[in-house]
Structures are given as C-alpha cells and as structure tokens.
Amino acid sequence: MKSKYFYVSLLSLLSFAFFLSCSSAPAKPDAVSSRKNRAADITGFGNNYFIQGQYNQALVFFKLALDENTAVDFEPGISRTSNSIGKVYLVTGEFDKAEQYLNDAYEIAKKLENRELTAISARNMAELYIEQGKIEESDALLNEALSNSESYPLIKAEVYHTVAISLRKKGNFSEAISYIDRASEINLREKAHSSLAANYYLAASVYSRQNNFSKSVEMLNKAIDEDRIVENSYGLAKDYKALGIVHLKNSKPEEAYPFFIKSIKIFDVIDNKSEIKSVLEYLIEISTLLDRPLDAAYFKSRLTEIPEKKDTYKAAR
C-alpha cells in the first residue's frame, strides 16, 4: 500500500507539472518563477519522505526539484536541492555521491556569496567529514558555518547540533551537551519540534555513553513528546527503539521489551524494512535472555521473511 500511494502521489505531481507547462494552460507572466515555485513544492514532498526515513522516495522528488531549478539556471535553488540530494546519500552511506552533490552546493553558495546557503552547505559537508573521520576538515567547515549563520537561528541550531555530534565522536561529552543545550534553546524558542526531538535524541545518546541511563531515558521521553506533536512516525519509532537499547544496556531486558515492540509496530506501518530487521534482532536477543522460546522463534521467522538488501541506513538524526 505504501508503494502504491507513493507512485500515485508521484503520478499526480507529474500530471500537475505537465498541465502547468502544456499549451492549453493559461500563459504565465513569469515562467522562471513558475518553475522555481514548482521546484519548491516538489522539494516539500521530498522533505516529507526524508523525515519519515523513506529515502528512495525522497531522492526521486529532490532530483525532480533539481531538474526544475537547473532548467531555469536558478542557482540558489540548485544549491538547496543539491544539498538535499547530498543529505540522502549521506544517511544511506553513499559518501562519494554525497560529497559530489554537497560540494556542488557549497561551491555555488560560495560563488553567490550567500551566507545562508554557505552555512547550510558547510554544515552538511562537515557532517559528511565527521562520518568519514576527517575531523580537522569538519572543524574548519563548522567554524565557517557558525560565522555565516548569525542571522539564521534555525540554521545556527543545526550547526550547534552538528558540533555536538563531532564532540561526541571525540569523547568530549560535557562539551557536547553544552552545544546540544544551545541548539535546543533556539529550537524551543522557534517551536521547531522535529529539530528539538533530534536534539533530545542526541543528548540521550551522549548520556547513554556515559552510562547515565536515567538521564538518557529522560531525554528520550522528551524526544517522544516533540515527535508526537508533529506526528513524526519515523522519529517516534527511533525514540522507542533507543529506549529499548538504553534499558537493555542497563541490564533491564524486561523493561526494554515493550519499547522494542512499540518501535517495530510503527516501523511495520511505515514499512521501513532495514529498521524492522534491526529491531527484530534485538527482540530475538531479549526473548532468549527472558527464556521466551516461542517469542524468539516468531521473531526469527519474521526475520527470514525480510529480503536481503544492502540498505542498512544510519539514522537521519
């Protein structure tokens, strides 16, 4: 049903785009603006799929938006959509493709001397370099992103969040929490619920690495509250999965079990097979620990039904 809905939506969108461009449609006074606006609308579809972890679908829409922007040589739009495509490849682990698109976005932003786009592009490139272990390069880009984001609070919050990711990777946990607090302060003020949920999720990860499990649970419950507000199914499923992992790490498999169950129910609904597989593996482990052989057998049977795919994506947040 999910695939059918996606292709119907895509067909409707393409039909709408054709209608706007066909000779029988009323003449538009500004064809360039029409295509730029259409690109922005298409990007919105892509963003919705990206937030829900539906990366293949997101990529289709982002590439359509890039084509619209390219057709009228609208460089700010080309930079934005190239960033979006690069982000998809980043979370799916296709780093070479990610670097190609993110670098294109960054070069355009620099050429235009556009501080907003430079901040976005530098932050995204920094995130890529963090994943690749290029810490010095990522630090330089994060400094550039910070200096260009002064007038853009939501972008500045994203930069703070990425600095915190870098600090977590370096093991500077208290400093990482400090930057998460800066990001969450902005997102709380701006009512940016999805971003705030991501801040709390990251904080939970940092506290978990310090074995501060009670604080980690507190942060994840806050993330759940924010994801519920914006009905972010993928975020909620990730939050519940993380709660299960924290309780399991704290040697509390009985408490972990129901959170993994909640998580897999949501992942089943949104049909995210890579995450379903991951949660099933945890449920098999817990069922074995709790001496529930029937449960373990059921989860193993479900696991064998999932086709083998090289799509083990990292979490977008």
Judge contact between 265 and 284, C-beta under 8 A: no
Look at residues 135, 151, 167 and tell me which one is the last residue of a structural domain: 151
Query: What's the number of CA atoms in the CB half-sphere (13 Å) around residue 24?
Result: 2
Q: CA 220, CA 178: separation in Å to the nearest integer?
A: 17
Q: Specify the amino acid at residue 101.
A: Y
* Angle subtended at Cα 233 by Cα 263 and Cα 286, rounded to the nearest 5 degrees: 5
Judge contact between 217 and 225, C-beta under 8 A: no
Could you report the per-residue pLDDT of 123-141, keeping only the tens digit for each? Answer: 999 999 999 999 999 999 9
Could you report the per-residue pLDDT of 206-237, keeping only the tens digit for each? Answer: 999 999 999 999 999 999 999 999 999 999 99
Residue ranges making up the domain that contains 285: 235-317
pLDDT band at 144 (very low <50, low <70, confident <90, very high): very high
Same domain, 66 and 109: yes
Choose among 105, 111, 112, 108: nearest CA to 126.
105
CATH of the domain at 169: 1.25.40.10
14 in a structural domain: no
Judge contact between 167 and 205, C-beta under 8 A: no
Query: What's the number of CA atoms in the CB half-sphere (13 Å) around residue 220?
Result: 24
Q: What is the mean pLDDT of residues 299-304?
A: 96
Same domain, 49 and 139: yes
- Residue 53's pLDDT is 87
Domain count of the fold of the chain:
3
Helix (H, G, I), strand (E, B) or coil at 26: coil
Judge contact between 105 and 86, C-beta under 8 A: yes
Same domain, 212 and 246: no
Query: What pTM was computed for the model?
Result: 0.87
208 in a structural domain: yes
Look at residues 151, 172, 188 and tell me which one is the last residue of a structural domain: 151
5 has a pLDDT exceeding 50: no
* Angle subtended at Cα 75 by Cα 70 and Cα 79, rounded to the nearest 5 degrees: 95
Same domain, 171 and 207: yes
Q: CA 105, CA 124: separation in Å to the nearest integer?
A: 10
Residue 197: left if φ>0, alpha if ψ -120 to 50, beta else—which one? alpha
CATH of the domain at 296: 1.25.40
pLDDT band at 246 (very low <50, low <70, confident <90, very high): very high
Q: How many CB atoms lie within 10 A of CB 98?
A: 24
Residue 211: left if φ>0, alpha if ψ -120 to 50, beta else—which one? left
212 in a structural domain: yes
Q: Which two tokens stand for residue 13?
A: 């969108």
- Residue 307's pLDDT is 84
Same domain, 101 and 143: yes
1 in a structural domain: no
Could you report the per-residue pLDDT of 11-68, keeping only the tens digit for each? Answer: 444 444 433 444 344 445 466 789 999 999 999 999 999 988 889 999 999 999 999 9
Q: Which two tokens stand for residue 155?
A: 């972008």
Same domain, 222 and 139: no
Q: How many helices (H) and strands (E) does the chain have?
A: 15, 0
Look at residues 109, 132, 151 and tell me which one is the last residue of a structural domain: 151
- Residue 309's pLDDT is 59
